[in-house]
Amino acid sequence: MPLPTQVSVKGIEIHAVPLPPMAPPATGAQGPTPHHGSTRLKPLKSPIQEGKLSVIERSKQLAAWTAVDEHVLPEYRVIGIGSGSTVPYVVERIVSQGAEANKDRVFIPTGFQSKELIVSSGLSLGDVDQYPTIDVTLDGADEVDTQLNCIKGGGACHLREKVLAEAATTFILVADYRKNVEYLGTNFKAGVPIEVVPFAYAKVLQNLHQVLNSPKATLRMAVAKAGPVVSDNGNFIIDAPFDVERMKEPYKIMAQIKMLTGVVEVGLFCHMARAAYFGNQDGSVTAKWNDGKIQEIPATNS
């Protein structure tokens, strides 16, 4: 039985949009593809190894594929690639568009992970210094609320992620169903990531404890090394939890933290994303837009 094209649930208009089939693998997998006579295209390689994915990994993949299909348009030439566990699937889908589609594109990374994904896949690497205006940036998130505000920085890349988000004409979030929440801080309990200069971390911690009422704010410590986590920019990371009532106004918290001397950037992204894509357990994808529209994209066998 075909899915309805439009239904109403609790006053929300929901459209069923078919998920586009996955494009054929990049021709570069079999060697460079000839183009205009003697010119050869750069071979591309997907960063995802073949094999069965878990439910969560498949949901991330579905969200990434859908976001790329809808927002990485043929005419786009400068594309920002974010950080996190969903981003390899973004690169996978871009690679699947083929060497011809990607031959004139340049990809801007937010950190070491995304840089390695771009280089290892055979895509052209660029820098925001060269390309301060980006057509579209796709990035993951630790949590996204109903207004598309999000927490980012679980991987300590939120300074560079925010630079690329602001530089982009279109900023798109991709995540799995666990990140889709009503209020920030629902599932992501670590707190708001804050990048600080090492010289000022103790002073900023004191401000968070005594002035901004985050008594459990702590310096993030490394797991496989002695000492604190150090960002790609040579700074420290503080994680500052706030109660649910405070997290209902993330922009206010972000502004208060940003005003503390020594703070470089805050992992709250407010009023920035155009849309967020969430892969669901049943193979469907939920797309939320900044104008309040919600799309339910049904599962397919592709």
> Nearest-CA neighbor of 134 among 92, 104, 105, 173?
105
Tokens of 183: 């209020």
Contact 118, 125 (CB under 8 A): yes
Identify any residues that bridge with 287 across adjacent strands, giving them in sequence order: 277, 295
Q: Is 161 one of the annotated active-site residues of the chain?
A: yes
> Which residues are CB-neighbours of 112 under 8 A, at least 6 positions away?
232
Angstrom CA distances, 268 to 2, 110, 144, 148, stand at 40, 16, 10, 11
Sign for the CA dihedral angle at 80, 81, 83, 84 comes to: positive
Give the integer Cα–Cα distance in Å for 262 and 177.
35
Query: Which among 161, 182, 245, 249 is annotated as catalytic?
Result: 161
Identify any residues that bridge with 230 across adjacent strands, giving them in sequence order: 236
SS3 122: coil
SS3 71: helix
b/e per residue 160-183 (b: at least 16 CB within 10 A): bbbbbbebbebbbbbbbbbbbbeb
- Distance between start and end Cα atoms, the chain: 18
> Which residues are CB-neighbours of 40 under 8 A, at least 6 positions away?
32, 33, 34
Give the integer Cα–Cα distance in Å for 172 and 137.
6
Active site residues: 161
